[in-house]
Chains A and B, each alone.
Chain A
Amino acid sequence: MNYAASAHPDITAKLPGWRATALFVALLLGMAGLLGRGVYLQGIHDDFLQEKGNARYSRVIEVSAHRGMITDRNGEPLAVSTPVESAWASPADVEADSRQIKQLAQILGMGTDEVKKHLFDASRDFVYLKRHLPPDQAGKVASLNLPGISLQREYRRFYPAGEEAAQMLGFTGQDDNGQEGLELALQERLGGKSGSQRVIKDRRGHIVEDAGSLHAPKPGSDVVLSLDRNVQHLAYRELESAVRQHYAKAGAVVVLDARSGEVLALANYPAYNPNNRGKVSSQAMRNRAIADLFEPGSTMKPFTVATAIEQGKVHPETVINTENGVYTVGGKKIHDSHPESMLTVAQVIQKSSNVGAAKIALSMEPETLWRSLSDSGFGAQTGSNFPGEAPGKLRAAKTWKPIEQATMSYGHGISVNLLQLARAYTIFANDGELKSVSMLKLDSTTIGKKVFSDSTAHALRGMLELAVQAGGTAPLAQVAGYRVAGKTGTAHKLENGHYINRYVASFVGFAPVSNPRLIVAVMIDEPGNGQYYGGLVAAPVFSKVAGAALRALNVPNDAPLDNVIAPTADIVAEEV
């Protein structure tokens, strides 16, 4: 039916005028809305769409930067980061038949059931099958090409020197940040900062264009330590055998380059293997040479005597009345285990007389002795910047009572760490100059602080050489082919402020005397085999380490090879 035809021709369509206007306005508003939205999306709020667009082709990828290497002074690696693969599974996506699972278990060296348990653990989205795989295993896992099982690249740090330098180097945590030792101290230099880069990828995931890097990656720099791996090995080997032989609790050895103050070796025992830490006791982790304090005992005597010579109070041939081995100061008795009536100053060092040292100390103002000990680096940080370094204790001179001044002269009532003690001996090895210690290889020689005059330092060298010869406290410290000098120390340990009958045996010495190259300090904690004198326990370690190290470093001999005199039956014992 035709409506137009049926409409009455006479009636003109009379629509109200407002309808057209309303429609026009509505269309106009609609257009304005669309325009506004368009401007908003294109001009003002454009990042959202831009992002969506970029997401189609542009990706931000992480550019990893690895941690720097630590090497010894000859470039031998001591800590190296190398990428390893960790195998992980996403249980929801795993598709593997039992034959494939068996293969996988074989490659990973795990039980089939264990692998199955991990693979079908529906409660988790991500499960590590095995972390830090060797490269060949990782390659085999990848070649299986199982869906849902992937490899993830992680960095792992390896320490080729193993336990020998464990406490010195420390270790890194899972995130490759230093946690202990030099790894922590040198974190700033070693740590790499991974960067990110914006790239354009094609449909198949290939990077086709570099769209500019957001952050450039900064790989960590390599660090060259002052350590010598061979000397470190020798020190650790001899220390280990001495600690075992004497059933001691622990021990430490420090070897310094006498001219520059560089640390050539720093060994501790007990130790741990940093490549396979598992459960490590905090005892094994301690760097005792730096973090532990002990009363040095007689190894302090040379500083007392040197101060007195420097002040002109005595000279090496001055005779001291040593009172037949007993001397009373402020109501307290000081003993010598080898009573003598008269000793020269040189013999006080040679025979390690407490009475002699006390008398020499009491001839000086407390302030003078304090100044000289403080100048020798006691009671202060060594400058090694090693984390957890204990600075030691040297009380202010004003608080000293006479008896304290007397005992301080032979190393009681003062506490030091072994590195500090070794460093202090650079004074005698270097014409009176105290060198600062360095754990990093130095390119130029350093100028130390002059503490004693040349002549005083030379006089002390002579006395310390006497101490290792027949009639001294440490003939066992002698080295075939080299002249050596040094001082023993034996001290009671302190427990809750009281001296107990357990000991720290120590020896600090240098060689060759004609032109000192090495300073070796040995500390044996609680030797338990009946022997506890520094001359019996620590001096042989010095002899072995110094002898082997001098040969390893090609230092020319300054004595004939038959210079070692078999020690007389009684080695002069020292009072402790």
Chain B
Amino acid sequence: MLRNSGILNALLLAAVVMCALSVVTSQHKARKLFIKLQNGKEQAQQMDVEWGQLQLEQSTWATPARVEKIAAQQLQMQLPKNGQVQFIRVEPDGRANRQP
């Protein structure tokens, strides 16, 4: 009886020590993961900011006024005149029909 309880106590002690150690390691792991998460979030935010800036940049380059200017001045483009346009109407059955 006495000997049995001694073994039990030893086992319990070992279990307690193991639990305590695993608490420490899991806490450490949790912190590491959290730091990773934090970094990830920061990166996401950084990218979000960059996305906004790129969108701005793209839309600044693509302002209709700028496109128009380049088309007319650099590329010498102009609206087609009367005789230069032909209309092709696609009928519901897929046939193309030239319009006057």
Contact = CB atoms under 8 A, between A and B. Distances in A.
Interface of A: 69, 76-77, 80-83, 135, 158, 160-162, 164, 206-210, 229-230, 233-234, 237, 480-481, 556-557, 560-562
- Chain B contact residues: over half helix, strand or loop, or mixed? helix
A83 B26 CA distance: 37
Interface string B36-61: 00100000000001001101100110
Interface in B1-48: 30-31, 34-35, 38
A141 B31 CA distance: 33
Contact of B56 (A80, A210, A560, A562): A80
A209 B34 contact: yes
A158 B30 CA distance: 41
A233 B100 CA distance: 31
Contacts of A557: 87
B85 interface: yes
Contacts of A562: 82
Sorted nearest first, the 5 A-B pairs with minimum C-beta distance are: A233-B64, A160-B59, A82-B52, A561-B82, A208-B31
Contacts of B97: none
Given A83-B49, A208-B35, A230-B64, A480 B59 contact: no
Interface of B: 30-31, 34-35, 38, 49, 52-53, 55-56, 59-60, 62-65, 82, 85, 87, 89, 100
B35 A135 contact: no
A233 B87 CA distance: 27
Nearest to A64: B45
Given A158-B56, A237-B65, 17 more contacts: A76-B59, A77-B59, A82-B49, A82-B52, A82-B56, A160-B59, A160-B60, A161-B63, A207-B34, A207-B35, A207-B38, A208-B31, A209-B34, A210-B34, A233-B63, A233-B65, A561-B85
Contact of B52 (A80, A162, A208): A80
Contacts of A82: 49, 52-53, 56
A207 B40 CA distance: 13
Contacts of B55: 77, 80
Contacts of A76: 59, 62
Contact of B34 (A69, A77, A83, A208): A208
Contacts of B30: 209
Contacts of A561: 82, 85
Nearest to A210: B34
B74 to A, nearest CB: 19
Contact of A560 (B38, B89, B100): B100
B70 to A, nearest CB: 14
B63 A160 contact: yes
A160 B55 CA distance: 10
A229 B56 CA distance: 14
19 contacts: A76-B59, A76-B62, A81-B52, A82-B56, A158-B56, A160-B59, A160-B63, A161-B63, A162-B63, A164-B65, A207-B34, A209-B34, A230-B64, A233-B64, A234-B64, A237-B65, A481-B85, A556-B89, A562-B82
A480 B80 CA distance: 12
Nearest to B99: A557
A257 to B, nearest CB: 19
A82 B54 CA distance: 10
Contacts of A81: 52
Nearest to A134: B53
Contacts of B52: 69, 80-82
A557 B88 CA distance: 11
Given A80-B52, A158-B56, A207-B38, A480 B82 contact: yes
